[in-house]
């Protein structure tokens, strides 16, 4: 770990204390994991504490871990990952929180902390079905008006369920069950770490 990253690491442990569920460094990036209950209060501290000052939220994205590594996933299925940036200290941090309950994933909205999260949370709701409690305007954003389902979940097929065309008889756009046959050109392969090494 570089000294700069070490400093951030120490400060996070110092300031957040009990709130840190996990703090890992890999490839020069720090990832902080917090429990869903601590998520909002941690966000507030990350932004406001003078030793941290993560004033800018660069990104928030939903993740569905259900098929990770082609083996059963041992814990909650949905998570959000936030990329934070501190302009003052020139630091980056990734914040991750898993959503309790796979049936209805919920998490507090951090829109009061970082206003820029507005559309990112709408997007995560649209594509993954994660509900952000406290978001003032949680509508779908990228999918069609009247879309059913959450397309970026791993159990949603690549080709979707419906296709759309203009019907000249009814003189309007109609939806029909999809006619594309799913196919995978290059199969997905997970190799074990020692694959291809000589004995």
Partner 1 sequence: MAEIRNYTVNFGPQHPAAHGVLRLVLEMDGEVVQRADPHIGLLHRATEKLAEQRTYIQSLPYMDRLDYISMMCSEHAFCMAVEKLLQIEVPIRAQYIRVMFDEITRILNHLFGVATLGLDLGAMTVFLYGFREREDLLDCYEAVSGARMHAAYFRPGGVYRDLPEAMPKYQAQHTRNARTLEDMNRNRQGSLLDFIEDFTERFPKCVDDYETLLTDNRIWKQRTVGIGVVSPEDAIAWGFTGPMLRGSGVAWDLRKKQPYEVYDRMDFDVVVGTNGDTYDRYLVRVDEMRQSNRIIKQCVDWLRKNPGPVISDDHKVAPPHRVDMKANMEELIHHFKLFTEGMHVPEGESYSGVEGPKGEFGVYFISDGANKPYRMRLRSPAFTHLSAIDKMARGHMLADAVAIISTLDIVFGEIDR
Among 7, 11, 100, 143, indicate the residue that binds partner 1 (CB under 8 A). Answer: 143
Which of these, 80, 85, 119, lies nearest to 96 by C-alpha position? 80
Residues for the chain: how many in total?
A: 199
**Integer Cα distance of 97 and 197 in angstroms:** 37
Among 105, 108, 118, 132, indicate the residue that binds partner 1 (CB under 8 A). Answer: 118
**Which residues, listed in sequence order, are joined to residue 166 by a DSSP beta bridge?**
173
- Bridge-based pairing of strands 91-98 and 29-34 is parallel
Among 102, 133, 144, 176, indicate the residue that binds partner 1 (CB under 8 A). Answer: 144
**Integer Cα distance of 155 and 177 in angstroms:** 17
DSSP-derived letter for residue 39 is H
Kindly determine how many residues on this chain lie close enough to bind partner 1 according to the rule CB under 8 A: 43
Both tokens of 74, joined, read 């041992």
Among 6, 116, 167, 180, indicate the residue that binds partner 1 (CB under 8 A). Answer: 116
Contact assessment for residue 46 and residue 84, using Cβ atoms and an 8 Å cutoff = yes
CB closer to partner 1, 37 vs 142: 142
Q: Does 184 bind partner 1 (CB under 8 A)?
A: yes
**Integer Cα distance of 133 and 107 in angstroms:** 6
CB closer to partner 1, 36 vs 82: 82
Residues 38-67 that bind partner 1 (CB under 8 A): 55-59, 61, 63-64
Among 103, 148, 189, 194, indicate the residue that binds partner 1 (CB under 8 A). Answer: 189
Both tokens of 197, joined, read 């090494």
- The minimum distance between CB 32 and partner 1, in angstroms, equals 13
Residues found near partner 1 in the complex (CB under 8 A): 26-29, 31, 55-59, 61, 63-64, 68-70, 81, 83, 87, 90, 92, 94, 114-119, 141-144, 151-152, 158, 184, 186, 188-191, 193, 195
């Amino acid at each position: 770990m570089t000294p700069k990253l070490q400093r951030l690491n120490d400060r996070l442990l110092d300031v957040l204390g009990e709130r840190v569920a996990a703090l890992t460094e890999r490839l020069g990036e720090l990832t902080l994991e917090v429990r869903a209950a601590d998520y909002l209060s941690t966000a507030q501290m990350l932004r406001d504490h003078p030793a941290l000052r993560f004033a800018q939220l660069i990104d928030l994205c939903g993740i569905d871990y259900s098929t990770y590594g082609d083996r059963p996933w041992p814990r909650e299925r949905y998570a959000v990952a936030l990329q934070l940036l501190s302009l003052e200290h020139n630091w980056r941090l990734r914040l991750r929180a898993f959503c309790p309950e796979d049936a209805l994933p919920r998490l507090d909205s951090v829109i009061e902390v970082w206003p820029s999260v507005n559309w990112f949370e709408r997007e995560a709701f649209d594509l993954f079905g994660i509900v952000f409690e406290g978001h003032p305007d949680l509508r779908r954003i990228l999918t069609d008006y009247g879309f059913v389902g959450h397309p970026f979940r791993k159990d949603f097929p690549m080709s979707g369920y419906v296709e759309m065309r203009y019907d000249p008889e009814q003189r309007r756009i109609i939806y029909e069950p999809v006619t594309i046959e799913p196919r995978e050109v290059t199969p997905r392969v997970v190799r074990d770490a020692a694959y291809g090494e000589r004995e």
